[in-house]
């Protein structure tokens, strides 16, 4: 499958990962300063998984795609909210955006 951009992802799934991330972050006003990083993480990782995992892609294209994405983003946020510096260290956006071959 040809790698898709975020615009193509939105066209193909009608999902907007940035809005899902922002909605979930509303539950924790203490972490609002980290909102930009977390939203970028969700967008980058969601798109990477969509481009690289047929199983993930099928779930997001299915009838419950929105719920699937929401549950994963909530899971990522729960891990992030426990200790943001550790999460950032273990989940580098640079590694996701340009993985080593």
Phi, psi angles (nearest 5°) of residue 14: 60, 25
Task: Classify the C-alpha dihedral 93-94-98-101 as positive or negative.
Answer: negative
Q: Cα–Cα distance between 42 and 19 in angstroms, integer?
A: 10
The C-alpha R_g of the chain, in whole angstroms, comes to 13
Is residue 85 predicted with pLDDT exceeding 50?
A: yes
Q: What is the pTM of this model?
A: 0.84
Q: Of how many residues is the chain composed?
A: 101
For residue 42 the two structure tokens come to 């969700």
17-76 pLDDT per residue, tens: 999 999 998 888 777 777 888 999 999 999 999 999 999 999 999 889 999 999 999 999
Q: What is the pLDDT of residue 98?
A: 55
């Amino acid at each position: 499958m040809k790698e898709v951009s975020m615009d193509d992802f939105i066209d193909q799934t009608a999902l907007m990962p940035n809005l899902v991330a922002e909605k979930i972050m509303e539950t924790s006003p203490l972490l609002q300063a980290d909102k930009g990083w977390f939203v970028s993480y969700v967008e980058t990782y969601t798109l990477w998984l969509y481009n690289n995992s047929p199983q993930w892609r099928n779930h997001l294209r299915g009838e419950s795609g929105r719920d699937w994405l929401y549950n994963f983003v909530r899971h990522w946020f729960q891990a992030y909210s426990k200790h943001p510096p550790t999460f950032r260290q273990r989940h580098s956006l640079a590694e996701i955006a340009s993985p080593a071959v």
